[in-house]
Homo-oligomer: A and B are copies of this chain.
């Protein structure tokens, strides 16, 4: 399922120069190189870690898309967030205790591996990077807040539009979107349902309704938002200018 790949040097990190990501300078790249333990490639459907496991690693997404979810023991599950290139995985688990969520690969991914054990040292010795990590944690929190608003206040239709817009937006910022507000991504309707807190059937119906209205064209394998502004307006989505995010 997963194999360790040859490690690319940080200086050639594919994330450098992405539209929504901040560049690291020479000096920072060298620091990172010290902490990088290797890379890992996982195919769609593979798990980075399971709920309840205390993995020894932290990861950065170099390539691909992943989902993070929590399960209740009776089978219900909630997808908590999507992870795109540049996102940090496993920060919560970095502080002892097993993580309470699982991470699964949605689009074949390549991850950069760091050791959990070196994390405190890492923070201590590189203030700028410690600052960046806090930045990322704060942003992640902001994202979860947005999802929370969605689940708590929006109707099914609004949730679907919101998610579409949010995904396309994030994809564009990480440079993996297609032309014309399009995103090619194999998300299952079951997964969408588990993200939005809706039943599979209702998710399907709502998608078809939106399709016929032309607001969001969510066909299997591809999301397209013809009129971004109209969609944002409908879903009461206010995307912030969102300056470049740091990474690694």
- The chain A residues found within 8 Å of chain B, CB to CB, are 70, 72-74, 76-78, 80, 91-92, 94-97, 100-101, 120, 123-125, 127-128, 130-131, 133-135, 137-142, 144-149, 151-153, 194-197, 236, 240-241, 243
User: What are 5 of the A-B contact pairs (CB < 8 Å)?
Assistant: A72-B149, A94-B134, A97-B241, A123-B134, A130-B131
Apart from A137-B138, A152-B195: 5 A-B pairs, beta carbons within 8 A:
A72-B153, A78-B148, A80-B148, A124-B128, A130-B134
**A151 contacts across to B, CB distance below 8 A:** 148, 151-152, 197
**A97 contacts across to B, CB distance below 8 A:** 240-241, 243
Question: Are A236 and B74 in contact (CB-based, < 8 A)?
Answer: yes
Whose C-beta in chain B lies nearest to the C-beta of A130?
A: B130
Question: Are A153 and B78 in contact (CB-based, < 8 A)?
Answer: yes
**A236 contacts across to B, CB distance below 8 A:** 72-74
A58: shortest Cβ distance to chain B, in Å?
11
Which of B131, B137, B146 meets A141, CB within 8 Å?
A: B137
Task: Give Cα distance in the complex from A28 to B123, angstroms.
Answer: 17
Whose C-beta in chain B lies nearest to the C-beta of A242?
A: B97
Task: Give Cα distance in the complex from A70 to B143, angstroms.
Answer: 12
Tell whether A148 pairs with B153 under 8 Å between CB atoms, given A123-B130, A130-B127, A243-B96: no
Task: Give Cα distance in the complex from A151 to B120, angstroms.
Answer: 34
A89: shortest Cβ distance to chain B, in Å?
12
**A153 contacts across to B, CB distance below 8 A:** 72, 76-78, 197
**A124 contacts across to B, CB distance below 8 A:** 127-128, 130-131
Whose C-beta in chain B lies nearest to the C-beta of A137?
A: B137
Whose C-beta in chain B lies nearest to the C-beta of A235?
A: B72
Which of B77, B92, B123 meets A142, CB within 8 Å?
A: B92
